[in-house]
């Protein structure tokens, strides 16, 4: 279900040059790379103790477009100041229905995680819940109210698996393009 090569292909297919850095890379090291956007991929385990990544992502969110999937979604949850909780059984497999609460559209997704975003803690942040898992009503997606930051609690790049969520890569591309266009317009005005 999880396929790093497919994730890379989806990013490349949508016009990205991809640079991969370890999870413990600092904000300063990331900014030195001059990224146009930040993609947070999946990973194993409990996101709560991974405070170094939460801190870095919190520092990057006001500065760059960010797209997180699975564990990356959970890191964004913590970076916003919210929390996660352990699911009784976890969500596993390629037939997980997710509903977009803004459009009403239902997608079939691939999931592989044991933690979920706590909805009560998200109420105190600048996050908007965008998607819910239809099996148990847990949060499956969110976006920031003010920054071009969004995340999903599943694998939009799943291979083999459903492709309903691949358009999230296009959304990320559009967020990054708007960011780059605004940055370049600002640079040309100051020149």
**What confidence tens digit (pLDDT) does each residue in 145-172 have?**
999 999 999 988 766 566 677 778 888 8
The answer to whether the CB of 179 falls within 8 A of the CB of 148 is yes
Give the percent of the chain with pLDDT over 90. 65
How large is the average pLDDT for residues 46-53? 94
Give the percent of the chain with pLDDT over 70. 91
Q: Show the 3-state SS of 135-152.
A: CCCCEEEEEECCCCEEEE
Query: Hey, which residues are catalytic here?
Result: 70, 155, 157
Question: Residue 57: is its pLDDT beyond 80?
Answer: yes
Q: Tell me which residue range forms the domain holding 173.
A: 4-182
Beta strands in 101-138 (DSSP E): 106-117, 127-133
Q: Name the residue with higher pLDDT: 5 or 175.
A: 175
How large is the average pLDDT for residues 127-147? 97
Per residue in 65-94, pLDDT (tens digit) is 999 999 999 999 999 999 999 999 899 988
Q: Name the residue with higher pLDDT: 143 or 180.
A: 143
Please state the domain count of the chain: 1
Say if 35 falls within a structural domain: yes
Say if 188 falls within a structural domain: no
Say if 119 falls within a structural domain: yes
Say if 187 falls within a structural domain: no
How large is the average pLDDT for residues 35-56? 93
pLDDT of residue 1: 41
pLDDT of residue 2: 47
Give the CATH number for residue 138. 3.40.50.880
Q: Name the residue with higher pLDDT: 189 or 41.
A: 41
Say if 190 falls within a structural domain: no
pLDDT of residue 133: 97
Own/partner contacts of 129-137, CB < 8 Å, gap of 24 or more, are 129/101, 130/100, 130/101, 130/102, 131/98, 131/99, 131/100, 131/101, 132/98, 132/99, 132/101, 133/91, 133/96, 133/97, 133/98, 134/97, 134/98, 134/99, 134/106, 135/91, 135/96, 135/97
pLDDT of residue 9: 74
Say if 104 falls within a structural domain: yes
142 beta partners: 129, 151
The answer to whether the CB of 153 falls within 8 A of the CB of 116 is yes
């Amino acid at each position: 279900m999880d396929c790093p090569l497919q994730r890379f292909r989806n990013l490349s297919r949508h016009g990205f040059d991809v640079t991969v850095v370890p999870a413990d890379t600092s904000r300063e090291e990331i900014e030195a790379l001059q990224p146009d956007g930040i993609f947070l991929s999946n990973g194993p385990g409990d996101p709560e103790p991974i405070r170094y990544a939460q801190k870095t992502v919190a520092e990057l969110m006001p500065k760059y477009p960010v797209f997180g999937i699975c564990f990356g979604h959970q890191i964004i949850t913590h970076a916003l100041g919210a929390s996660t909780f352990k699911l009784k059984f976890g969500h596993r497999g390629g037939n997980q229905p997710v509903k977009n609460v803004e459009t009403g559209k239902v997608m079939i997704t691939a999931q592989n995680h044991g933690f979920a975003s706590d909805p009560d803690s998200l109420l105190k942040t600048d996050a908007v819940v965008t998607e819910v898992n239809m099996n148990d009503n847990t949060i499956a997606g969110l976006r920031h109210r003010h920054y071009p930051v969004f995340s999903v609690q599943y694998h939009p790049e799943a291979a083999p698996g459903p492709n309903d969520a691949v358009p999230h890569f296009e959304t990320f591309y559009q967020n990054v393009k708007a960011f780059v266009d605004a940055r370049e317009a600002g640079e040309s005005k100051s020149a």
